[in-house]
Amino acid sequence: MALPLLLGQLLALMGHGGAFYLEVRELEEKCFIQEIPDGTVVIGNYKTELYDPAMEKYQPSPQWINLFVFVKDPENKNLLARQYGPQGSFTFTSQSPGEHQICLHLESIRFALFYDGKLAIHLDMQLGEHTNDYAEFAAKDKLTQLHLRLQQLVEQVELIQKEQEYQRWREERFRQTSESTNQRVLWWSILQTLILVATGVWQMQHLKSFFKAKKLV
C-alpha cells in the first residue's frame, strides 16, 4: 500500500509544472524560478491578452504582440532565447538539475499605449511525462490500449528515477553546504580562541612590565 502511495506522490511532484497568470506592462520583464531535474523536457503553453479600456477587460492579443522567452539554467547558461507570437508554446530540455530561471516579456510592433500598455500572460508549464501526447502516439503507431499503458508506465518509471537522482543531488549539495558552513564556523571559533589567548598573553606581559616598573620606583 505504501509503494503505490509513494509512486503517486513522486509523480505528483514531478509530473506537472504549474499554471501562472501574469499582468505586465509592455517591455516589463517577469521572471520566476522552476526546479527541474536534468534531461527533462519542458513545454510552456501560453496565450496573451491585451487590456481594452473601452470594454474594461482583457481581450485576445492581436498578431502584432510578440512574446519573448528567456531561460537560464543553474549555471546561468542560456537554454532558450526566442521570440514567439501572441499565442502558442515554447519547449526546452534541461541540461543540469536545479533552479532554472524563466523570464517573459511582451512587446508590440505598433504603438500600444493607446491600450494603456496593459497585458496579461496565461502560462501552463508541463514537465516530463505530461509533455507527451499519448493519443497522438497511439494513432501514429497503432498501439493498443495495453501497449500504450505499458509505454506510459515505462516513462513514469524513468521519471521516478530522474526525480530520485535529482533528490540525491539536492541532498548531496545540501550536505556539502552544511559541511562547508560547519568548517567555517569551526575555523572562526579557533580564530576567536587564538585572538583571546593572544590578548590574554599581551595583557599579562603588559601588567608584568607595569609591576616591575612600579617595584623599581
Q: What is the pLDDT of residue 13?
A: 41
pLDDT of residue 115 exceeding 60: no
Q: Can you read off the three cell numbers belonging to residue 161?
A: 528515477
- Dihedral sign, Cα of residue 123, residue 168, residue 154, residue 6: negative
30-60 pLDDT per residue, tens: 898 888 888 888 899 999 988 888 888 888 8
- d(CA 21, CA 111) in angstroms, rounded, equals 24
How does residue 161 score in pLDDT terms, banded at 50, 70 and 90? confident
How crowded is the C-beta side of 112, counted as CA atoms within 13 Å?
Answer: 20
Name the burial class of residue 178, with classes exposed (0-12), middle (13-18) and buried (19+) by CB atoms within 10 angstroms of its CB. exposed
Give the angle subtended at the CA of 54 by the CAs of 59 and 24, to the nearest 5°: 50
- d(CA 217, CA 214) in angstroms, rounded, equals 5
pLDDT of residue 106 exceeding 70: yes
pLDDT of residue 101 exceeding 70: yes
pLDDT of residue 81 exceeding 50: yes
Whether pTM exceeds 0.75: no
Q: Can you read off the three cell numbers belonging to residue 6?
A: 509513494
3-class secondary-structure state, position 93: strand
How does residue 10 score in pLDDT terms, banded at 50, 70 and 90? very low
Instruction: Provide the mean pLDDT of the chain.
Output: 78
pLDDT of residue 11 exceeding 50: no
